[in-house]
Amino acid sequence: MASESITIAVKNNYAVIQWVKNLDNVLPLIPNIVESNGTTVKMKFSRLMLNFESEFLIEPSLISDDVVEYNFRDNKGNNFRVTFVAEGKSTIRVVITYFGEREWVVEGEFDSILEEIRAGILRDVPDIPEIRPQLGNNNETSTIPNDYSKNLSRLSYLSKLTVKSKFTKTQTVAINVGGLVDYLQDIVKQYSEYPVIYISGSGGAAFRILFIDNEVKGIYVLKEGKEYFGNEDILNTLSGAFKVQIYAIPSPKILEEIKE
């Protein structure tokens, strides 16, 4: 097993932890990822005359208030792991671990990967207030029947859900204030032949929406460090450029199979 870490001095490690909880923020920081489709990534490593390339499945990961961990595993059992750990109030430790074939080749790129992650965190993480997540807007509880909103906050659940999807489509869209709901409704109409549709978006904020039989069954939003569950009103406050991924799931029974 090969492992290396770096310590990054930041203004607010809570802001960093909230930011890296969004996988779409993390993947661009890993320069060895040459392809990504939402559930898998292709990674390529080089050292001297040797190369190693493989397709890795993004597996269920550890997510908490102080630790965020992403595991990437290929069909041969090779495992690449990135862990973000909050230390104190103004320090983030990033740990890269790899065990598997061509370990010497992969390990040779650890320094450059850690430097890219360090630069990305210092450049891209917004300076949000250090406040802990709250439920909904003004602490309101969700009014969605059979609510899946809490599930949508868990990467372990999302990994299982997206693996079961029939197809994935990615697009970048500009959303005006109050326009997200109409955009989501257009997507649901476009793919109405599928009983379950999961839509995720990342940009200045992150949202995850689950539709079952054309009805909203789960809403999760991460905005300015606050998590909102089952709150439809918060969707109307989101605006800006978003990278949106659309997943079509062939049967509602899949949701019962992966229920946490």
198-219, pLDDT tens digit by residue? 998 887 788 999 999 888 999 9
Residues 6+ apart with CB under 8 A from 135: 141, 227, 228, 229
Query: Rounded to whole angstroms, how far apart are CA atoms 214 and 103?
Result: 47
Q: What is the pTM (predicted TM-score) of this model?
A: 0.56
- pLDDT over 70 at 127, yes or no: no
Q: What are the DSSP E strand ranges found in 109-214?
A: 167-175, 196-202, 206-212
CATH topology of domain 2-124: Alpha-D-Glucose-1,6-Bisphosphate; Chain A, domain 4 (3.30.530)
Q: Output the pLDDT for position 139.
A: 41
35 CB-contact burial (10 Å; exposed 0-12 / middle 13-18 / buried 19+): exposed
- Smallest CA-to-CA distance from 170 within 199, 193, 190 is with 199
Q: Is 252 helix (H, G, I), strand (E, B) or coil?
A: coil
Region of poorest pLDDT, from 22-31, 47-56, 152-161: 152-161
How much helix, strand and coil, in percent to the nearest 5, is found in the chain?
25, 40, 35
Which residues on neighbouring strands pair with residue 95, listed in sequence order?
Answer: 5, 83
Q: Output the pLDDT for position 45.
A: 94
For the chain, the structural domain boundaries read 2-124, 137-257
Percent of the chain with pLDDT strictly greater than 70: 89
Single-letter amino acid, residue 90: S
Query: Rounded to whole angstroms, how far apart are CA atoms 225 and 82?
Result: 21
Q: Output the pLDDT for position 114.
A: 95
